[in-house]
């Protein structure tokens, strides 16, 4: 079912041009793709150049791996939550479109109890949209807080590793 527009063009709310979200394949290289999902690249350190002993360096690398895994999981949680929000908003928009089509099929001149009920349903769906947006913001804000803490932890671990590596070079 398609909504028949009354205008020739639609510039979106407040006259802002609508845009199509960019596909992630244009922003990430093919190397960052695992099982059809884009991942964050943890290329800030290279394990091939590190010594093979199981001392302090190995412990630091394991700690960095753990932090990178946590950061990667947080990025994927943000991505999954965004997909859920977009899917929910899309379905709400389809429902609104369906109600609008019912109203247009009845005619603009007819205002009866059924039309008022359809208009009320459209308003309820707008409330659902706002509720979905706010729950998305709430969910993402918690994930972003955790992500910030993880990025700070990553930076601290890098600084510790640099400090320990520099001390070992001076002592040898």
The tens digit of pLDDT for each residue in 42-64 reads 544 444 554 445 677 778 788 88
pLDDT higher for 152 or 34? 152
pLDDT of residue 27: 55
CB atoms within 10 A of CB 150: 19
C-alpha dist (Å) from residue 64 to 32, 78, 146, 149, 155: 19, 21, 16, 14, 10
Q: Which token pair is 142?
A: 């918690």
pLDDT of residue 21: 56
Average of per-residue pLDDT across 96-114: 83
Task: With a cut of 80, say whether residue 88 has pLDDT above it.
Answer: yes
Residue 8 has phi, psi (to 5 degrees) of -75, -35
Task: With a cut of 90, say whether residue 9 has pLDDT above it.
Answer: no
- Binned at pLDDT 50, 70 and 90, residue 12 comes out as very low
pLDDT of residue 163: 83
pLDDT of residue 38: 53
Average of per-residue pLDDT across 108-132: 87
pLDDT > 70: what percent of the chain? 65
Picking from 105, 100, 152, the residue whose alpha carbon sits closest to that of residue 126 is 100
pLDDT of residue 115: 85
pLDDT of residue 26: 58
Q: Which token pair is 125?
A: 């769906």
């Amino acid at each position: 079912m398609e909504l028949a527009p009354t205008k020739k063009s639609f510039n979106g709310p407040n006259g802002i041009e609508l845009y199509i979200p960019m596909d992630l394949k244009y922003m990430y290289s093919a190397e960052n793709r695992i099982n059809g999902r884009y991942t964050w690249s943890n290329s800030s350190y290279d394990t091939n150049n590190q010594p093979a002993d199981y001392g302090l360096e190995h412990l630091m690398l394991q700690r960095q791996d753990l932090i990178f895994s946590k950061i990667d999981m947080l990025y994927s949680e943000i991505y999954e939550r965004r997909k859920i929000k977009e899917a929910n908003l899309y379905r709400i928009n389809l429902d609104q479109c369906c109600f609008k089509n019912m109203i247009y099929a009845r005619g603009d001149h007819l205002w009866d109890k059924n039309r008022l009920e359809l208009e009320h349903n459209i308003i309820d769906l707008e409330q659902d949209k706002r509720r979905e947006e706010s729950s998305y913001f709430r969910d993402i804000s918690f994930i972003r807080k955790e992500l910030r803490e993880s990025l700070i932890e990553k930076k601290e671990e890098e600084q510790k590793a640099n400090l320990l590596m520099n001390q070992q070079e001076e002592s040898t």
